[in-house]
Amino acid sequence: MQKLKVLVLSPQSRLDEVCSEACRSRINDYFEPLWNETGRDYTQEELLALISDAEVIISSWGSPSLTDEMLEKAVKLRAVGHAAGTVKNLVPKQIFSQGVKVFSAAPRIALSVGEYCLATLLTSLRYLPAFDSAIRDGKWKIAGLKGKELTGNTVGIISASSTARAFIKLLAPFQVKVLIYDPYLTEEAAARLNAKKANLEEVMSCPIISVHAPKLPATERMLTRELLALIPDGAVFINSSRGPVVDELAFMEELQSGRFIAALDVFEKEPLAVDHPIRSLPNVLLSPHIAGATVQGHLALMEEVVEDIIRSLREEKTTYEVNERMWEVMA
- Which residues of the shown chain bind a second copy in the complex (CB under 8 A)? 111-112, 115-116, 118-120, 122-123, 125-126, 128-129, 131-132, 134-136, 138, 140-142, 146-152, 169-170, 172-174, 270-272, 274, 279-280, 285-290, 293-298
User: Whose Cβ is closer to a second copy: residue 217's or residue 282's?
Assistant: 282
Q: How many CA atoms lie within 13 A of 291 on its CB side?
A: 32
* Count of C-beta atoms within a 10 Å radius of residue 234: 11
Answer for the pair 117, 240: CB distance below 8 angstroms, yes or no.
Answer: yes
Q: Which amino acid is at 127?
A: Y
257 exposure class (CB count in 10 Å sphere: 0-12, 13-18, 19+): exposed
Residue 288 CB: number of other CB atoms within 10 A? 12
Please say which residue, 61 or 131, places its beta carbon nearer to a second copy: 131
Which CB sits closer to a second copy, 66 or 110? 110
In the complex, what is the shortest distance from the CB of residue 289 to a second copy, in angstroms, rounded to a whole number? 8
d(CA 175, CA 280): 35
Least distance from a second copy to the Cβ atom of residue 260, Å: 15
Toward a second copy, which CB reaches closer, 287 or 318?
287
Nearer to a second copy, 55 or 304 (CB): 304
Nearer to a second copy (CB atom), residue 1 or residue 274: 274
Write down the least CB distance from residue 140 to a second copy, Å. Answer: 4
Burial class (CB in 10 A: 0-12, 13-18, 19+), 9: buried
Quote the CA–CA distance of 107 and 118 in Å, as a whole number: 17
CA dihedral of 126, 132, 133, 134, whole degrees rounded to 10: 90
Shortest spacing between CB 280 and a second copy, in angstroms: 7
Residues 222 and 116: their CA atoms lie apart, in Å, by 23
Of 1 and 172, the one with the shorter C-beta distance to a second copy is 172
Residue 242 beta carbon to a second copy: minimum distance, rounded to whole angstroms:
17
CA distances from 229 to 82, 155, 252, 281, 304 (A): 40, 17, 12, 18, 42
Cβ of residue 154: shortest distance to a second copy, in angstroms?
A: 12
- CB of residue 121 vs a second copy: minimum separation in angstroms? 8
User: Do 57 and 77 contact (CB within 8 A), yes or no?
Assistant: yes
